[in-house]
Each structure stands twice: as C-alpha cells, then as structure tokens.
C-alpha cells in the first residue's frame, strides 16, 4: 500500500496512488519497478531447478529454491508441489492453489513423475526387473514398483513413478544394489520440462500446460 501511495504502481498503463481504488481484475496489468504483472487469480509456476538448492523456506545447508523466485510470487505464499532433493535437478512446480497441489501429489490421481537417473554401476537386467516388479524399501509395508523403467545406456535409465516418497528413486535403485549419481526430473503427467528453460529460471504455466500436467498415467484410468 505504501508503494501505491508513493505513486510507484501503474495499473493498466495509468499511474495509481490510491490503494482503495476499485479495479476490474479482468485483463488487469500492474507494473512495479518496470516489470509488468498480469493479474492471476491463482499462481501456477514452473522452474528448472538447479542442483544445490533445497525445496524449503527454511533450508538447512543450501540456498532455498524460493530465493530464485521474485518477491511478488513469494508474497503470494506459493509452495513447492512436491519436493526434489538438493542435488536433484529438473521440473519443479509452485502454486498457491491447495487443491491443485493435492491433485498433483496424490498417488490416487495417477499423475506420473518421470526421472532420468545416472547410476554408479551398469544396470543389469536383474536390476531392471526388480524395479519393474517391486523392491522392498525400509519402513514400507509392501514392495514398491516403478510404473515404467527404460534403460537408456549402461548407466542411465528413465524411471516413471506414481508416488513421491522420501528419496524414492535413490532408495529404489539402492535396493537393487546400485547407487544414483545424478537425478533429473524431466516430466510430470504429460508435460515435459521445456528445453529452452535454463536451470534456475522460471515461467508461468498456462491452461494448456495445466491440462498436460494433470494427465493421468494410462494404467490409472483403466
């Protein structure tokens, strides 16, 4: 409000210094510090997460991914839609829409997450079969299986999961006797990380993006 009174906010091209002024939210554009912001009822944001950042407002040992977002988004209290480990890179979502966050992270909704993992040792057929059939993880009552597992080269595989358990990819591959050296999330639902979005950068998601993001894994629709 203080910045509005100071005449630092432009509304649809017109300087506004009255914080009580009524404005129509349709096609509303605010300009602050030379940056134009189109009004959005809910925020849906994609980031290409770089390595070395924690998905927390209160990180322990590394910078927070929230430090890569501009203040107007932080003021909206956007939250991570699921989390990636500090050394994991790739597709990370943020939103202030609680229902959207729930739909994206709930295993019951069938929204798959696709990871590319580079392993320390060559993957064997037995390891791949174990990931597809189910591996036993500590503190899990039943074996956990991948929705899909594709070997890309001797050390690299693409793993598709329906859940987002703590360190799940690393623990699953560890249960086969191997170890993850690099991990990258490349797809959620039917939406792939854009090739032109560089690590540390973010952008808004549009209606078509959201439709692809919420696309269920085929087996979940049967």
Q: How far apart are CA 165 and CA 150, in angstroms?
A: 20
Name the E strands within the chain: 9-11, 14-16, 29-32, 35-38, 44-49, 79-80, 89-95, 113-119, 148-151, 156-161, 180-188, 191-192, 202-204
Active-site annotation holder among 85, 87, 97, 121 = 85
Exposure class string for 27-59: b at 16+ Cβ within 10 A, else e = eeebbeeeeeeeeeeebbbbbbbbbebbbeeee
153 noted as active-site residue: no
Give the residue numbers marked as catalytic. Answer: 85
């Amino acid at each position: 409000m203080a910045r509005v009174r100071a005449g630092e906010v432009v509304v649809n091209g017109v300087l506004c210094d009255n914080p009580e002024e009524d404005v129509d939210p349709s096609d509303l554009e605010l300009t602050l510090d030379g940056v134009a912001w189109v009004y959005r009822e809910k925020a849906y944001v994609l980031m290409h997460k770089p390595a070395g950042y924690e998905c927390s407002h209160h990180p322990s040992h590394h910078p927070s991914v929230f430090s890569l977002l501009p203040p107007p988004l932080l003021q909206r209290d956007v939250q991570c839609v699921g989390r990636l480990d500090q050394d994991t890179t790739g597709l990370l979502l943020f939103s202030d829409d609680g229902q959207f966050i729930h739909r994206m992270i709930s295993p019951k909704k069938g929204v798959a997450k696709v990871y590319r993992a580079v392993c320390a040792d060559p993957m064997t057929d037995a390891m791949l079969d174990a990931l597809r059939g189910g591996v036993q993880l500590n503190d899990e009552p039943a074996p956990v299986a991948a929705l899909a597992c594709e070997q890309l080269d001797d050390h690299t595989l693409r793993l598709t999961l329906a859940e987002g358990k703590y360190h799940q990819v690393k623990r699953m591959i560890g249960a086969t006797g191997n170890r993850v050296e690099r991990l990258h999330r490349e797809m959620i639902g039917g939406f792939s990380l854009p090739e032109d979005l560089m690590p540390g950068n973010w952008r808004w998601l549009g209606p078509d993006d959201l439709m692809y993001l919420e696309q269920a894994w085929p087996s979940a629709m049967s």
